[in-house]
Chain A
Amino acid sequence: DAGITQSPRHKVTETGTPVTLRCHQTENHRYMYWYRQDPGHGLRLIHYSYGVKDTDKGEVSDGYSVSRSKTEDFLLTLESATSSQTSVYFCAISESVQSNTEAFFGQGTRLTVV
């Protein structure tokens, strides 16, 4: 199994509070991604990173920010959590973006905003 650890695995927070989710990898892969998974929507890309301090937006980036100060860590921050951000969040990594590259996923973080 690819070495990807997400923390925390579960979190309940109140509306309006800041929340940071962490993704840590031991594979030294260049590319890292944050997705959210909601019923009926599958996995939607929030932000991704193609190197240290190099990040870009995905399709649902509003209300989220990311940072990558080290190759192994990719942080996702909800500056002011809202109920619509209740979801399961997955981190993924990939070695390259060649057409046959596999993305490896963490086990997910279940976030509930009350």
Chain B
Amino acid sequence: TQLLEQSPQFLSIQEGENLTVYCNSSSVFSSLQWYRQEPGEGPVLLVTVVTGGEVKKLKRLTFQFGDARKDSSLHITAAQTGDTGLYLCAGAYNFNKFYFGSGTKLNVKP
């Protein structure tokens, strides 16, 4: 059983479109992180959200942490081909472990 469920699993869109990726859990996390992974590489951190209801923006990417700290979303505005990759959410659990979601594989077509 996955502690963190991500949806959708796969997303293929045209350049310029908007998209939202979701990360849901029944557990409460002290923080939640979003990572992006390219083929053949390890994940790289995009953002950390800590406070319930927090919203963070990173250029065209907007991250939100749910009020109850059980879920999060990643919204990309005007997607570009360079956004293609695997997006992973990770929750800090019991203050000494990171648990990851199953990931959303995004393909942005030119």
Interface residues of B, CB < 8 Å — how many?
28
Which residue of the partner chain, among A41, A59, A92, A94, contacts B102 with CB atoms under 8 Å?
A: A41
Most buried by B among A33, A45, A50: A45
Closest chain A CB from B47 CB (angstroms)? 10
Q: Mark A18-53, 1 if CB is under 8 A from B, else 0.
A: 000000000000010101000011111100101000
Which of B11-19, B77-85, B92-100 participates in binding chain A?
B92-100
1/0 per residue B61-86: CB within 8 Å of A? 00000000000000000000000000
Bound-state Cα–Cα, A44 to B6, Å: 14
Residues of A close to B98: CB separation below 8 A: 33, 45, 92, 94, 103
Which residues between 11 and 57 of chain B lie within 8 Å of chain A, taking CB atoms? 30-31, 33, 40-45, 48, 50
| A-B CB pair tally, cutoff 8 Å | 69
Known: A97-B95, A107-B40, A107-B42. A42 touches B50 (CB 8 A): no
Q: Which residues of B contact A99 (CB under 8 A)?
A: 30-31, 48, 50, 92, 95
A108 touching B92, Cβ below 8 Å: no
* Chain A neighbourhood of B103, CB < 8 A: 42
Interface size classification for chain A: 20 to 34
Q: How far is the CB of A17 from chain B (nearest CB, A)?
A: 25
* Residue A74 interfacial (CB < 8 Å): no
Q: Does B96 contact A103, Cβ atoms closer than 8 Å? A: no
Contact of A103 among B6, B90, B101 (CB under 8 A): B90
Q: Given the complex of chains A and B, what is the CA–CA distance between A108 and B38 in angstroms?
A: 12
Cross-chain contact A102 with B48 (CB below 8 angstroms):
yes
B residues with a Cβ closer than 8 A to A are: 2-4, 6, 9, 30-31, 33, 40-45, 48, 50, 88, 90, 92, 95-103
Q: List 4 extra interface pairs beyond A99-B92, A102-B33, CB under 8 A.
A: A40-B9, A42-B103, A102-B48, A104-B45
